[in-house]
Chains A and B, each alone.
Chain A
């Protein structure tokens, strides 16, 4: 894919270069530079997806374990219910219903506490918001700078971008280390265990 893209790029660049002016070498340099940058973007996009996929997998695993546990309780409870019905323990069933309703009623007093949780959610949501689009925010600066940029030669443009590519690469390598450190430091998700062995 890389070769095909580079070929397309060179074709496009040559065609446009010949049509527009007579300095093909800087043009080709810039074109090659553009191809390298595009590949770098693809690589980082893949790395982002890998990170996202790793996190998704962890969350799915937790949900799977939660659901497996949930299903086990459901099966046991259903069987228990059938036995009790046959045994005719109406008084116990009534006590079960009463205590269940009573305990649930405490949950309805949860509103103030739920707000606390919602606040944490909203804190996290702020953190989770997508990054601002720098291209949009910089319109004014770009307009102001456009005046200065007009006479920049292609070779200078290539030099500027490729030298910044090194700066960006350094920052990205730093960030990769931070991602790995955070990944290592992330604890495994626990799943709620049973209260204790049921007394029979």
Chain B
């Protein structure tokens, strides 16, 4: 019922909007229209999709909190249940030692202690290497050339923008002052050092050969990482082509013959293709990039139009604004039609297009954030499983040191703990604490991370569903809000004529989109 009321209000709002906008001759500010516009806006503001969405989101968050809290309780219950069985077990071997082995095998497969020791060595080697690389990068930064210290990835097969920037930054020229030249020489040495370190990067995978829970988590993490790296690479290629095409287009516009020249038209076609490739890309990185570019260029266009002087002179940044016609072929069509039909300005399409792009950008940004969160969680799951396994291996080590003692071997758990000598007893308590902690705290953490990993996938679905709602409400809202604003402001015919004259320049410019 409430929904129906809202819809009726909404429709009234749109109708009011139509009424206000429907008559061609609204030239003088009118109190009545102002009131109607304000009422339309008020009615529309009550169709509150934001609150509906926030409430639904709030419910989901509560469920997530409950899921995580219940996991903590469950892990604790399993630990206590297991501990009960342990303390009453008639044999320390089957009651405790075997449990540790079973858990370890479940986590990493056979040969756990050896695999874990090898993994720790590999990680230690990598940490040492990382520290040396960081030293070289700090040295580079000390020369203050205004370029970030390059990372190893910047020197891979095809050098990245950052890698090329670093190489360019150390190129000395005879005209430079000696202090700058000295800094460049120093930086060149640091760069060489970084490159050498990068060549010596330890490639061994610490988790190579791990099976079980950790092996599965690692396979997933590598898969996610690889997919993301491919997305980044594909997006970088598309962005590079876009930048080159945009630059070529700007240069073509700068030759004094405007967009009508064959060169400019060819450049526009290339740019349009680069844009299409980004907008239709399967990866969110490309879509995020092009939405941002479109939004910026649209804003530049709006600025150019609305800031134009009454003398018809174009403001600064007009060439950037003209790019909007390539980024939005539809905008060019609208402009053409508007100007051909004379006094039918572009305001509404511009406003709607801006809202539309803003939401596309938001959707892509959220997908990127969700995927990045997933990558971090996938790593954390692997690290937690490894930490669990390491702790179990430590427990096994402690038990091994006492297993052969006569007051332990073949006895019940209670007898072993009571009868062992103080040093042996300490080992047994330590080992038991490691095992029980891995079973409770670390197991709970790993499961909670799994739930968060799934939540990131849920977020991806929700983000797009939410954006879909916003797209329609934005389209309706743009009409109502703009009409309300227009009704309140009245009209200045002279300004409109001057601005339309200014738009005439763009009219020549967008011929390439014909």
Contacts and interface: CB of A to CB of B under 8 A. Distances in A.
Contacts of A110: 441
A48 B472 contact: no
Nearest to A14: B15
B221 to A, nearest CB: 14
Interface in A154-200: 154, 156-157, 160-161, 163-165, 167-168, 171-172, 175-176, 178-179, 182-183, 185-187, 189-192, 194-196, 198-200
* Candidate in A120, A132, A143 with the most chain B CB atoms within 10 angstroms: A120
Interface in B1-57: 3-4, 7-8, 10-12, 14-24, 26, 36, 47, 49-50, 52-54, 56-57
A30 B475 CA distance: 13
A194 B82 CA distance: 8
B56 A48 contact: yes
Interface string A1-39: 100110011001100110111010011001101110110
B402 interface: no
A190 B448 CA distance: 10
Given A99-B83, A134-B355, A41 B56 contact: no
Interface stretch (B144-152, B204-212, B312-320, B459-467): B459-467
B469 A41 contact: yes
Given A16-B19, A135-B481, A196-B103, A164 B356 contact: yes
Contacts of B18: 13, 16-17, 26-27, 30-31, 34, 154, 157
B99 A196 contact: yes
Contacts of B344: 151-153, 156
B477 to A, nearest CB: 5
Contact of A113 (B12, B70, B445, B472): B445
Contact of A142 (B64, B467, B485): B485
Given A48-B469, A175-B363, A142 B482 contact: yes
Contacts of A167: 330, 356
Nearest to B53: A130
* Candidate in B19, B436, B468 with the most chain A CB atoms within 10 angstroms: B468
A127 B366 CA distance: 6
B15 A99 contact: no
Contact of B11 (A34, A74, A179): A34
Interface string B333-370: 01000100101111111111111101110110011011
A160 B334 contact: yes
A187 B341 CA distance: 55
Interface string A139-156: 001111111111111101
Interface stretch (B72-80, B178-186, B188-196, B231-239): B72-80
B165 interface: no
A138 interface: yes
B88 A63 contact: no
Interface in A57-89: 58-60, 62-63, 66-67, 69-70, 73-74, 76-77, 80-81, 84, 89
Contacts of B414: 89, 91-92, 95
B354 A138 contact: yes
B78 A123 contact: no
Interface in B393-445: 413-414, 417-418, 429, 432-433, 436-437, 439-441, 443-445
Nearest to A98: B429
Contact of A60 (B63, B80, B349): B63
Nearest to B55: A52
Given A130-B54, A142-B481, A151-B491, A95 B87 contact: yes
A164 B433 contact: no
Interface stretch (B122-130, B135-143, B167-175, B450-458): B450-458
B95 interface: yes
A44 B476 CA distance: 14
B166 to A, nearest CB: 30
Contacts of B369: 123, 126-127
A131 B52 CA distance: 12
Interface in A85-127: 89, 91-93, 95-96, 98-100, 102-103, 105-107, 110, 113, 116-117, 120-121, 123-124, 126-127
Contact of A130 (B57, B77, B440, B499): B57
B468 A182 contact: no
Nearest to B499: A148
Interface of A: 1, 4-5, 8-9, 12-13, 16-17, 19-21, 23, 26-27, 30-31, 33-35, 37-38, 40-42, 44-45, 47-49, 51-52, 55-56, 58-60, 62-63, 66-67, 69-70, 73-74, 76-77, 80-81, 84, 89, 91-93, 95-96, 98-100, 102-103, 105-107, 110, 113, 116-117, 120-121, 123-124, 126-128, 130-135, 137-138, 141-154, 156-157, 160-161, 163-165, 167-168, 171-172, 175-176, 178-179, 182-183, 185-187, 189-192, 194-196, 198-200
Given A5-B11, A145-B482, 16 more contacts: A5-B8, A16-B16, A21-B19, A41-B49, A81-B84, A113-B445, A131-B470, A134-B474, A147-B496, A148-B306, A148-B346, A149-B345, A161-B348, A172-B468, A175-B465, A198-B81
In the A-B complex, the 5 residue pairs with the smallest Cβ-Cβ separation, listed nearest first, are A34-B14, A198-B85, A149-B347, A30-B18, A103-B436
21 contacts: A9-B14, A44-B472, A45-B52, A47-B468, A52-B57, A66-B67, A67-B70, A70-B73, A73-B77, A76-B81, A92-B413, A96-B83, A103-B433, A106-B433, A127-B373, A147-B496, A149-B345, A152-B344, A153-B22, A176-B464, A178-B460
